[in-house]
Amino acid sequence: MTERLGSVFIENVQPELDAGRYAIKRVAGESLTVRADIFKEGHDVLVAIARWRQVTPAAQKTDWAEVPLTFKNNDAWEGSIPLANNGRYEFTIEAWPDLFRTWAHELKRKVDAGRDVKSELLEGAALLEGAAARAKGKSAEDHRVLAEAGARLRTPPSPDHLLAALSPELADAASRHPDRALACKYDKVLQVFADREKARNAAWYEFFPRSAKRDGKTHGTFKDAQAWLPYVQKLGFDTVYLPPIHPIGRTARKGKNNSLRALPGDVGSPWAIGAAEGGHKAVHPELGTLADFRAFTDAAKAHGIEVALDLAFQCAPDHPYVKEHPEWFQHRPDGTIKTAENPPKRYEDIVNFDWMGPARDALWKELKSVVLHWVDNGVRTFRVDNPHTKPMQFWHWLIREVQDLHPDVLFLSEAFTRPKVMKALAKVGFTQSYTYFTWRLFKDELRTYLEEITSPPVSDYFRGNLWPNTPDILPENLQNAGPGAFRLRVALASTLSSVWGMYSGYELCEGRPVPGKEEYLDSEKYQLVAWDWDRPGNISEWIAKLNAARKAHPALQQYQGLRFFESDNDRVVFYGKRSPDGLSTVLVAVSLDPYAPQEALLHVPMEWLGVNAEETYQVHELMADQRSLWQGPDVQVRLTPEQPASIWAVYRYRRTEHAFDYFE
């Protein structure tokens, strides 16, 4: 709907999320394409603009600016708003009739029909005089041109007068000074948040620093964990995600394999946060000090890696908050504090906050200070544990409060829950989201799901971070499976989305489950683990090649624009991506069979590639580092468990002054 100042209608404004309640997501450096249906009764020539401004951070706040919208077809208009900086923007749409162009258009038709136009010329003179008055003090040249043209139209008409009245230059001058009193404004001010680039393009590697000694016996430190960084860099990851690094509770501490009874020396779950040594702002003493953590983040940065920290808003029973602020927690009728439950599961080592209770203001303020504490200590990315078990209102408030001060902070939602809840978390502000990819195994379901989350309207607010495994989840397709299963799933995760991650041990094809469950046997959540990076059968080189392909080819750094294409084998999925400038194009074929070779006839999308059927073009297969010349729409491929994926960078010939060159 529109604000009825005039008779122009503004409808179907896109992108708009839940009637403007939440912000659309984009990346700084992009432009936001705005579309709307704009129309008016009659045959008036219309003008439409998008008004926009940056509103956060405060230091980069701007005044309102305007960009023109262009008429496309069938009353549809479109334009682009520049999003130069990281931060929050506002935008809306305004439209009005261009009185002088409408008059000039009708005048020409009347003249062509041989009509007497003396009265019309006086109408035009009045329009030009009004525009000249509005130009005064803004543009001396426009004021002069408009005033002189208006005066001429009040003299006896002549062919020269008519020719001058219909000149495009005069219409342009009049249009620069419209009568905005006739404008209609869209009745909402919409928002877009421009994240930094890593919101859209990142590869995450999760490991427990307490296992950094790799012997399964000795508790590691941040200093020990620094030794992992060259290895992580070699694999091609640019984000290291650490589970909670805080003191671990002793009350009801879990033992190995989630045992209810901890034995002496059992390290407990890092998600049971808080003990006598401190809470969410403290560092576990066996890991080191806050200074040691800062040294670790500095070392990671030197390797081109950013550190992401787990944000788990829950407490062990002996967290300092429990004694200092019992009013922040849920209590049973007998006065005891409730432990966390997800029946039939019960988490005896965790108690939950009373999120919407009478002390919520103080509680929320304290939890905000936790985030800002770690931001002050160099953390700019948080993986948020189980956000779907906390109120949406809290996340909407917290994320906006933090990003208004620090727009470069990113939040990953770890919520494997109902689809609408996952999407709602993305709407209220989470930068990235875990997905159902972990359980999407077959061709049709992969295509349906990935098309949904990488295309508007979902992709306007939801960025899927694809994980084939996590410390919590060892999916059945990886349990006791050979390297082929691990190769194909990581190939899918790293190329279907521009953001993906994996938990350490994946590269070693670790797949021993708790019988009958999607859980790791001897889970690192409850004990130290001995990791042998050189374990026979590891797929580290395969993963490094995948990440190298992502870094080298901008097409794989795009979240939107995923296109699926046809293959004649239901066990081979075929898809492609292209960069917005069209200079990088990649095709990918992945076998979904981890045990046997699969052959497929791929139907190459010639029109999408911009290639004629008779044209020869070069492809570079990145995993095997082989180049070929292709021609025509059909390509035969053979994929094996040893190489279940092929990634082709597509190159076309380009004629130069003296020869032919390739361009991607």
Catalytically active residues are 385, 414
Collapsing DSSP states into helix, strand and coil, what is residue 127?
helix
Tokens linked to 482: 């050979």
Torsion (CA) 511, 517, 523, 525 in degrees, nearest 10: 130
With residue 300 as reference, give the H or E element that holds it: helix 290-302
Tokens linked to 46: 């219309």
Q: Helices 168-175 and 99-112 meet at what angle, rounded to 10? A: 150
Among 22, 16, 14, 17, which residue's Cα sits nearest to residue 38? 14
CB distance 600 to 567 below 8 Å? yes
Collapsing DSSP states into helix, strand and coil, what is residue 426?
helix
Annotated binding site for alpha-maltose 1-phosphate: 254, 314, 349, 386, 525-526
Continuous H helices in 504-627:
540-552, 606-609
C-alpha R_g of the chain? 31
Alpha-carbon gap, residue 245 to 603, rounded angstroms: 50
Sequential DSSP letters for 491-527: HHHHHHSSEEEEETTGGGT--PBPTTSSSBTT-TTTS
Centre a 10 Å sphere on the Cβ of residue 664 and count the other Cβ atoms it contains: 17
Q: Is the peptide bond before 344 cis (omega within 30 degrees of 0)?
A: yes
**Angle, vertex CA 433, rays to CA 295 and CA 452, nearest 5:** 150
Sequential DSSP letters for 323-385: HH-GGGB-B-TTSPBPEEEETTEEEEEEE-B-TTSTTHHHHHHHHHHHHHHHHHTT--EEEEE
Alpha-carbon gap, residue 83 to 93, rounded angstroms: 17
Alpha-carbon gap, residue 232 to 498, rounded angstroms: 18
Where do the DSSP E strands lie in 74-113?
76-82, 87-97
In the block, tokens 């909670």 appear at 244
With residue 148 as reference, give the H or E element that holds it: helix 140-153
How would you classify residue 252: left for phi > 0, otherwise alpha for psi between -120 and 50, otherwise beta? left
Annotated binding site: 254, 314, 349, 386, 525-526
CA distances from 28 to 19, 82, 223 (A): 23, 9, 35
Alpha-carbon gap, residue 492 to 14, rounded angstroms: 31
In the block, tokens 């020719």 appear at 163
Q: What share of the chain is helix, strand, coil (3-state, %, to 5)?
A: 30, 30, 40
CB distance 564 to 455 below 8 Å? no
Tokens linked to 517: 């469950």
Collapsing DSSP states into helix, strand and coil, what is residue 584?
coil
Among 566, 568, 550, which residue's Cα sits nearest to residue 558? 550
DSSP-derived pairing of the beta strands 190-195 and 24-27: parallel
Alpha-carbon gap, residue 431 to 426, rounded angstroms: 7
